[in-house]
Amino acid sequence: MDIELICLLVMLAVFLLANLLVKLPVSFSMVLGAIAGALVGGQGIPLRHLFEGTFTYLDTILIISAAMLFMTVIQESGALEALNAIIVTRFYKKPALMLILLMLMIMFPGMITGSSTAAVLSAGALVAPVLLLIGIPKEKTGAILAMGAIMGMAAPPINIPALLIAGGVDMPYIGFEGPLFFITIPCAIIAVLILGLKHCKNLDIEKLKGELNLEIGKKYGIRLYLPIFVLIVLLVVSKLVPSLPQLGTALIFLISAAVGIFTGRRFNVWEKALSAMETTIPVLGKLMGVGMFIQVLTLVGARGWIVVSCLSLGTVMLYVFACTIMPGFGAISSYGAASVMGVPFLLVLLQAGGHNDIVLCCMLSFLCCLGDLMPPTALAGNYAAQIVGLKYRPVLTKCVIPFLICLILGLLCMIFSGSLSFLTA
Amino acid sequence: MKKIFALVLAALMLLALAACGRQDTTSPTGQADPNAATQATLDPSGTAPAFDMQTSEDKRIVNIGTVDKTLYAAPILVTSFGQSTDASTIDTALKRVGGTYSYLPQVAADAVGSYKTMIICVGASTKGLGQAGIDEKDEVARAEAIMAKAKETGAQVIFVHIGGETRRGALSDQLADLVLPQCSYMIVKEDANWDYKFTKYAEEHSLPLTLIFGQKDTVQVMSDLFSK
Amino acid sequence: MKKFAYLWKNALVLLAVLVFAIPASVDFLAMQKREPVAKNDYEVRMLSEYCEGLKDTPADTEIYVLDSGVPGGTFLIFGGTHPNETAGMLAAVSLVENMKPTAGRFFIIPWLNKSGFTHTSPLDGMQDFFDITLDDGSVRTFRVGNRLTNPVHQWPDRTYYEGTSGRKLVGTETAEIRNVNRMYYGDPDGVLTEKVCWGVYQLILKENVNLTMDMHEGSPEFLYLDCTMVNEKADNNTAMSIAQGMSLDMEFDDLTMRAEFSGMKSYGLSHRSLGDNTQSMMTLMETYNPSMGPLHGKMDDDLIINGNEPNYVEAYQRGLNYFKIDDSGYPLINRVARHITCIFYLAKNYTDAHPDRAMAFEGLGSYEEMVQKGLGGLLKPIK
């Protein structure tokens, strides 16, 4: 057995043992896995590498932190409650349309932060009561949140696995919007309708109205939505007119959050900000742990080994593996899946010919994103279950059918990426 | 239950990883798999299959037929069709043999009337065309005009293709096909001959052909051709 | 009191972090120190003499000037544009320590992006140092850095930046604002990296440099390996003939070194931007460095010095690389010797074309001799 494979197995084993048996947090388990790998790989305890790895996702960490503050603000100020009330009162007659709109709301923070966790913890937390209210059972509500968060994470403009894969092959992150919308929007719609539609055929609007906060929207009027408006304008302007002085995504979130403090219900900013950061820190720790884990994988040569091993697969096996290993690697980290497995899969599939590189990259990143449902980390599933007050197993069970549908659609898009190249224009 | 489920999934993943172990790409004799080797060229102009070469490291120059050196009188022009670096290689080689010639890679058709011999280096390079600020259509038009002029003045044409396999794209081949019908001598770096295009052409038209192994052999060939 | 209990907990956590962070920071800080250079007949200048703004910054770097005393041309040679491209830096150091100029002047900068030598890039698992044992048994240690300026010295990367070349850095290219070879011809009032570029630009103008070589290496996926980029423009578009002369000379020594036209859209790269804006003939060469590719195996001194990466042999056999890679590897000494040989023949062919600007040197021997000697013989002991 190659030494690289032994390193990989040791790292995974230590990680899983620490996480599942000793019940350490995922981030600490990753640190232990990384240290074990370095020791087996003959690198001692490479402090420098361990530290350096944690800085890999510094930008992402800043963005997620700022986005969480923003979501806390619009949650506390009442903007999201008001939005929910509008959606339910306007669309209760067309439950399918309503569910789709709610799904898009769950997706939104994921779309702009590229993080499923941000989506579940922010918009998900707000939409969950509405879904429960209209009669969707807890486990299915959790499943909708988890699926929505994952679709949001994969949807443009920010899809971090796609960025990682594209970066790995020197492909500019341009033209990804089309294919990513093409796969995520239908999958999101299918998922939410499968899970929710039969429960909200006949809605009693009067009963619903009693549970909704109809007042807050009237009390503050249009200014309640100002932070969301500021956020969208700043994000769009910075995309459209890049030559303007740039604020950066993290600062844009902070500015919008600052605006939100004054546009709605008053709340204790310090306390809410602290508690928002407290829920986020495990996620940030996970990102740091992943960076460390992959840095050590690279250092001991296991990353190169995985890549080269994948090169020897035939085309059919390659598709099979793309559908199993890419999401499967999400058990450790979907970002890790993209940066370790995404690049070689892309290169080898492209070599088979007839493919469009951008569509292929998008679909591979989509498969990586699905990994956020994979236990034991199951980022999206974990937090969704937490919100509806369940363990994550019943929630994940409900996710199985939509998950498989997504997987099949993603695979089909991969196989026929050549004929989808019009999407990248 | 949760624990078992997770462990089984993780184990499946590991098995999958372990299963994709390395396949040996070398044959029992230790030779690289020829199929793997032919896939190896990611050249935009397509891949060339392995073929039997007449030149080699030890036998770098192969002459087929006899060249009538007296045909190639001064003044001599060296120009490029396709603006790859190959013409400047001939320029450098001629400089080393001490030849007297004009090196004008982008010469226009109306300036070639006085030359009795034209050494035309064929090979298209997007970088070279970009550097010269010429688009593909204009380059083909210039090539056509020069060949028409050569027909008119009766200038002798030497066809030079020393860029090898990478200069066998569509544009390079189009330019080559313009020059071949009017040339009286061909000089070809042999790896470009993978489909036997040049050897076949020389045979069918009874043209003298010199195959070379590497670009440095142009120095010897130019010396043989022009030394007194 | 209870309200502040969390402060104690947090302080303890921070303390625990420090216990690990301090020894790690010693590792990182060790990279701030430049390697010593052995004695030779040279004069040391600083790049800040050509760009005021570099003075007392971590990016100011040494220029070694070797003058033959025989009037002729001026050749500027630099390595370390990208610090992870080790052979360029070592070739420059070898030239500084061994060169005996016989005509013209040579300006040599071994660590052009000096800030980049002070850090490595996350996730790539790069070495920070590697050791070379000399023939006399002493050991010399060199740094492998990152291809970009250290963010500690220049941060944050702007989400949009237009350099003096007109290159627009947006989207995935924003980090390139810390890449010396994207920011030419630089700006004396710009970001730190641009000041380095401006220093090189001013040096070329003020010292009337005739020929410049920017030494690089590429990962095996790269198309232009064992290749020299040439900006055709110098001396009325005659630069390519000089480069082709070098290419033929190398071929006569059984070494491949293609000469290629500099890309017209390579905005901000040395060969394009400085070639278009100065009198100097601009060249940039690349050799293959297996430790730079994403497929590399275990990272250690062996990979850096012996350059044998089975993963890339396999990738080549599977048609994923354009550049031919076999079991024999591509040791660092062969890459260093190839850089030096290329420089030698460029000087020779330049002198043939412009005898009034002659530039020549001896003291390093042929490619074969350098490879025979190995790095241990080529580099001089530090006394």
Contact A40, A9 (CB under 8 A): no
- In CATH, the architecture of C43-378 is 3-Layer(aba) Sandwich (3.40)
Contact B208, B65 (CB under 8 A): yes
Compute CA distances A70 → A67, A122, A250, whole Å: 5, 9, 10
Chain A interface, best mutation among B12, B20, B38, B47, by max A CB count within 10 A: B20
Confidence of residue A170 (pLDDT cuts 50, 70, 90): low
**Nearest Cα to A67, choosing from A279, A238, A266?**
A279
Domain boundaries, chain B: 61-223
- Chain C residues within 8 A of B57 when measuring between CB atoms: none
Nearest CA in chain C to B166: C322
Residue A333 has pLDDT above 90, yes or no: no
CATH of domain B61-223: 3.40.50
**Nearest Cα to C363, choosing from C347, C352, C351, C349?**
C347
Exposure string of A362-378, with b = 16+ CB inside 10 Å and e = fewer, is bbbbbbbbbbbbbbbbb
In the structure encoding, which two tokens stand for residue C208, read together? 């009337």
- Which of A119-133, A172-186, A230-244, C131-145 has the highest mean predicted lDDT (pLDDT)? C131-145
Listed by number, the residues of chain C in 106-145 with a beta carbon closer than 8 Å to a beta carbon of chain A are 120, 122-125, 128
- Between chain A and chain C, the number of residue pairs with CB atoms below 8 A apart is 102
Residue B37 has pLDDT above 90, yes or no: no
Contact B90, B162 (CB under 8 A): yes
Instruction: Please give the pLDDT value at position B210.
Output: 96
Which is more confidently placed, A163 or B174? Answer: B174
Instruction: Please give the pLDDT value at position B228.
Output: 64
The answer to whether the Cβ–Cβ distance between B216 and C324 falls below 8 Å is no
- Chain B residues within 8 A of A391 when measuring between CB atoms: 2
Angle at A225 between CA A243 and CA A58, to 5 degrees: 50
Residue B49 has pLDDT above 90, yes or no: no
Q: Which of A16, A313, A374 sits opposite B20 (nearest CB)?
A: A313
Q: Which of A172, A248, A343 sits opposite C159 (nearest CB)?
A: A248
Domain boundaries, chain C: 43-378
Chain B interface, best mutation among C254, C257, C261, C348, by max B CB count within 10 A: C261
- Chain C residues within 8 A of A303 when measuring between CB atoms: 125, 294
> Which tens digits make up the pLDDT trace of B159-204?
999 999 889 989 999 999 999 999 999 999 999 999 999 999 999 9
Minimal Cα–Cα distance from A298 to chain C, Å? 6
Mention every residue, 6+ apart, whose C-beta is less than 8 A from residue C278. Answer: C185, C201, C204, C205, C209
Compute CA distances A211 → A207, A222, A224, A265, B139, whole Å: 7, 22, 20, 19, 75
Question: DSSP assignment of chain B, as one string?
Answer: -HHHHHHHHHHHHHHHHHHTPPPP-B-TTSPBPHHHHHHT---TT--PPP---S--SSS-EEEES---GGG-PSSEEEEEESB-THHHHHHHHHHHHT---EE-TT--GGG-TT-SEEEEEE-B-HHHHHHHT--HHHHHHHHHHHHHHHHHHT-EEEEEE-SGGGG-SHHHHHHHHHHGGGEEEEEEEGGGGTT-HHHHHHHHTT--EEEESSTTHHHHHHHHHH--
Contact B188, B211 (CB under 8 A): yes
* CB of B9 less than 8 A from some CB of A: yes
* CB of A6 less than 8 A from some CB of B: no
The answer to whether the Cβ–Cβ distance between B42 and C321 falls below 8 Å is yes
> Which tens digits make up the pLDDT trace of A334-363?
887 887 788 778 877 887 778 888 999 999
Minimal Cα–Cα distance from B81 to chain A, Å? 31
A350: how many CB neighbours lie within 10 A of its CB?
17
- Chain B residues within 8 A of A313 when measuring between CB atoms: 20
Q: How many domains does chain A have?
A: 1
Question: Helix, strand, or coil here: A175?
Answer: coil
C279: how many CB neighbours lie within 10 A of its CB?
13
* CB of B21 less than 8 A from some CB of A: yes
Instruction: Please give the pLDDT value at position C71.
Output: 96
Instruction: Please give the pLDDT value at position C255.
Output: 95
Residue A276 has pLDDT above 90, yes or no: no
Minimal Cα–Cα distance from C319 to chain B, Å? 3
Instruction: Please give the pLDDT value at position C171.
Output: 65
Strands C211-218 and C74-78 turn out to be parallel
Q: Which of C263, C314, C321 sits opposite B25 (nearest CB)?
A: C314
Question: Helix, strand, or coil here: C62?
Answer: strand
Q: Which of C23, C156, C315 sits opposite A47 (nearest CB)?
A: C23
Mention every residue, 6+ apart, whose C-beta is less than 8 A from residue C90. Answer: C79, C142, C332, C336, C375, C379
Compute CA distances B37 → A389, B128, C320, whole Å: 58, 29, 11
Q: Which domain holds residue A188?
A: 3-424
The stretch B116-123 carries a mean pLDDT of 96
Question: First and final CA of chain B: distance in angstroms?
Answer: 93
Residue B32 has pLDDT above 80, yes or no: no
Q: Which of A48, A299, A348 sits opposite C28 (nearest CB)?
A: A48
The answer to whether the Cβ–Cβ distance between A375 and B5 falls below 8 Å is yes
CA distance C221 to C200: 29
The answer to whether the Cβ–Cβ distance between B22 and C260 falls below 8 Å is no
Subunits next to C (3 or more Cβ pairs <8 Å) are: A, B
CA distance A134 to C267: 58
In the structure encoding, which two tokens stand for residue A30, read together? 């990753």
CA distance A50 to C24: 9
Nearest CA in chain B to A17: B7
CA distance A124 to A164: 26
Residue ranges of chain C with pLDDT lower than 50? none
